[in-house]
Amino acid sequence: MGITFDTTDDGRDPSGGYRFWFEDEELSFHLIVDDPEEGWPLDKVPAYAIPISRSERVATWELAEKLYDGLDSLRTYLLIAFERGGMPIAANFDIGDDW
């Protein structure tokens, strides 16, 4: 992505995960990484990113879609995209119907 994340102390939060963020005039981006837990989906996807566009030219959904497509093209990560209400709207692996 070509951005540098700010952290507090070493980035570790009380839950044992890590929280990083980047903000400028164009976007706000938060990355939260937790230690994998038993159960789905965190045992497969122990990190989540929250991109928020601050630009009048690019909507947040466009920013999120570009991020998803870029990560998916690496063929390294299992990805799930959620809409604001929490429903999954895209995944690059079978997530099943247990929502």
pLDDT tens-digit map of 14-36: 666 777 888 889 989 888 887 66
In total, how many domains does the chain have? 1
Range of the domain at 42: 18-91
Q: Please check whether residue 96 lies inside any domain of the structure.
A: no
**The pLDDT of residue 76 is above 50:** yes
Among 99, 78, 79, which residue's Cα sits nearest to residue 87? 99
Q: Is residue 6 part of a domain?
A: no
Residue 12 confidence (pLDDT) above 70: no
Q: Which pLDDT does position 44 carry in this prediction?
A: 57
pTM: predicted TM-score of the whole model, two decimal places: 0.69
Domain membership flag for residue 12: no
Res 62: pLDDT: 93
Closest C-alpha among 75, 91, 71 to residue 83: 91
pLDDT for the residue numbered 37: 59
